[in-house]
Amino acid sequence: REHDHDPFNPTRDPSGSEVKADNIVSSLSDERYGRDEPGSFADETLEFLTELHAKRLANKQEIQSDWGSTDKPWEEQAKQWDAARESYCNTEDKLRMLQSPQKYNLDPEVKSAVSANPVEGLSFNPMLARSHFRQYRCMLAEYYEGTEALEGKLRPSPTADPDLHAAALQAIAVRFARKIVHQRPFALGVLGTSVLSGQDNCYALSYAPTWNRTLRPLLDIVGVPFDVHGSGQNGNGPSMGNTLTCAKEVLGDVDIVHTGWWMVGQVPKPDYEAFLRRMLTDSPNGPLVHSIDGFRDGFNFNNGIWLTEGNDTVRDAYYKAGVMEIASRPEWNYLAGIESTSRHGDGDYPWFPLGFHNAHWGRVGDGKCHRHTREGEDATIMQNWHPGPLGVQVMMDLYLYTYLKALEMAMEWIERDGVQALKERFPLHERPSVELPSPKYCARDANEQHPMCRGETDGGWLS
């Protein structure tokens, strides 16, 4: 698609004027590429972001103050909100391009660049690849104007649970390093309801294809094929319980599983714990379970499932094994969380009035004037109760940022220890080792149908 404003052309403002570009980093040959700590902005950049936040807040208050002040139908008022926001964002775009153009850009020739001076046994230089993964994180942190939401919305988080996060991050890095040194495909499995099947969207812009287009080129530069095994079902499809029971047969061999069930019955605690244990001990990969809807009642860690009996040690043990989840959500919109977290305290989103006729449906933009996704697509955050292209991007980025950190760690291991040592440490014929706690819920008599929960080991799913 062609757009009037390309968010990835950092040398032009929307009017076509040339802008100052001496601070822009966009080539791996630049020694600054992938060097900075993501989210560590210069003082002048922080001042500029503070100024933008104040302007956005004033625009938000102006739009919201007009709510209900006329007798016009709400649909007309919504058009007025959008027009007012569009006018403001045109001004912000020009300010941003002229005063603080995007600094961290991705080298389009990165694959050929990282092939310089490859290590023995691989076709790439791990430290150059590491620089690219770091640059990508810097780009994400710049896009979201900080790392607070990217890191703070996952559990375990590096700020609230640093030791647990470090262990979970290492578990992810093991999965990546194992496939990289053996040069074998890496697969992401997706299980869930209509949010993950792409309802009310162009399928190409839904969750699984967006992951495919994003992670595939990143793993391609280190010689690893990538694919998504997607099995999102509509709300009237198979139940969560049946899907989890048959996850192995549905997904095949995967390295990480994303789960997300909305608007359908949740499985009991014992069933979900059984699913975690079976996935983590499945051969050959021991896939990690990363929940997208960790805020839902019924089975998530942070809404009471693991806390109802008081002791957190079992929950923490699963975190150490590599299990992760999205932590929480605003009640009205589970995708707003990443944008409602601000170093200023008062979030930029939602920028429109709430409380009438599902006002967030069809709104373009996330509060920070992202009117296109990073791929240049329509930036609707919610089509209705299903996320739009920008909502899908937000969900993906919460995990993508952490996966990039894990890839950096894998590159450091390859550089330090060498390919052969890692092949011996992470053999393909053995799944990654995992230390599981004693079952907390699924060890009871009522759940004897789950052999893994009685301490037996069948090497994976029972046929």
Asked if 95 contacts 52 with a C-beta cutoff of 8 angstroms, the reply is yes
Asked if 388 contacts 378 with a C-beta cutoff of 8 angstroms, the reply is yes
Asked if 233 contacts 263 with a C-beta cutoff of 8 angstroms, the reply is no
Cα within 13 Å of Cα(237), Cβ side: 17
Mean pLDDT of 309-336: 68
pLDDT of residue 315: 84
Mean pLDDT of 235-260: 85
pLDDT (tens digit per residue) in 256-311: 999 988 777 677 777 788 888 889 998 889 999 998 875 343 344 443 344 334 44
pLDDT of residue 248: 85
pLDDT of residue 396: 93
* pTM listed for this prediction: 0.88
Q: Which of 134, 155, 174, 447 is CA-nearest to residue 316?
A: 155
pLDDT (tens digit per residue) in 93-140: 999 999 999 999 999 999 999 999 999 999 999 999 999 999 999 999
**Rounded to an integer, what distance in angstroms lies between the CA atom of residue 359 and that of residue 336?**
13
pLDDT at 332 over 90: no
Cα angle, residue 39 at apex, residues 84 and 13 outer, rounded to 5°: 45
pLDDT at 50 over 80: yes
Q: Which residue has the higher pLDDT, 459 or 142?
A: 142
User: Helices marked H in 221-361 — which ranges?
Assistant: 240-245, 247-251, 269-280, 313-320, 337-340
Q: Which of 177, 148, 164, 125 is CA-nearest to residue 53?
A: 148
pLDDT of residue 6: 40
pLDDT at 10 over 80: no
pLDDT at 84 over 70: yes
pLDDT of residue 16: 46
pLDDT of residue 133: 98
pLDDT of residue 150: 86
pLDDT of residue 340: 45
Which range in 47-51, 402-406, 445-449 is most confidently predicted, on average pLDDT?
402-406
Asked if 310 contacts 297 with a C-beta cutoff of 8 angstroms, the reply is no
pLDDT of residue 351: 83
Confidence band, pLDDT 50/70/90 cuts, at residue 452: very low
Mean pLDDT (the chain) is: 82
pLDDT at 216 over 70: yes
Q: Per DSSP, what are the bridge partners of residue 256? A: 188, 288
Q: Which residue has the higher pLDDT, 166 or 346?
A: 166
3-state secondary structure of 267: coil
Residues 6+ apart with CB under 8 A from 451: 458, 462
Residue type, 108: P
Confidence band, pLDDT 50/70/90 cuts, at residue 353: confident
pLDDT (tens digit per residue) in 184-215: 999 999 998 888 888 899 999 999 999 999 99
pLDDT of residue 453: 47
Task: Let me know if 445 is exposed, middle or buried by CB neighbors in 10 A (0-12, 13-18, 19+).
Answer: exposed
pLDDT of residue 140: 96
Mean pLDDT of 360-364: 86
Poorest-pLDDT segment among 150-164, 334-348, 380-394: 334-348
pLDDT of residue 64: 82
Task: Let me know if 2 is exposed, middle or buried by CB neighbors in 10 A (0-12, 13-18, 19+).
Answer: exposed
